[in-house]
C-alpha cells in the first residue's frame, strides 16, 4: 500500500489507476496528511463486496435464529 497526496493523485492519475488495476497496488490518497480515499483494483472491490454480503447474511441468520426481525 502506498500513500500519495491529492496533488500527486491529480498530476499522475492514470499512472496510479494503472498501478491499482494491473499492479494490484492499493493507493491511499491523503488530504492534508490524513487518509481520505483509496484507489483499488476491481478484484479488490469485488472481494470487499463479497465480504460485505457474507457479513450481512451471517447477521440475518443470527437475527432469524434469535427470533428477531431480519435486518434489511
Q: What would the pLDDT profile of 28-58 be if each residue is shown by its tens digit?
A: 999 999 999 999 999 999 999 999 999 999 9
Structural domains in the chain, sorted by start: 2-65 (3.40.1620.10)
pTM for the whole thing?
0.76
Grid coordinates of 27: 493507493
Residue 63 confidence (pLDDT): 87
Amino acid at each position: 500500500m502506498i500513500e500519495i497526496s491529492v496533488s500527486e493523485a491529480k498530476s499522475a492519475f492514470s499512472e496510479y489507476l494503472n498501478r491499482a488495476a494491473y499492479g494490484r497496488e492499493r493507493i491511499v490518497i491523503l488530504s492534508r496528511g490524513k487518509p481520505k480515499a483509496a484507489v483499488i483494483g476491481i478484484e479488490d472491490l469485488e472481494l470487499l463486496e463479497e465480504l460485505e454480503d457474507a457479513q450481512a447474511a451471517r447477521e440475518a441468520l443470527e437475527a432469524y435464529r434469535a427470533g428477531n426481525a431480519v435486518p434489511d
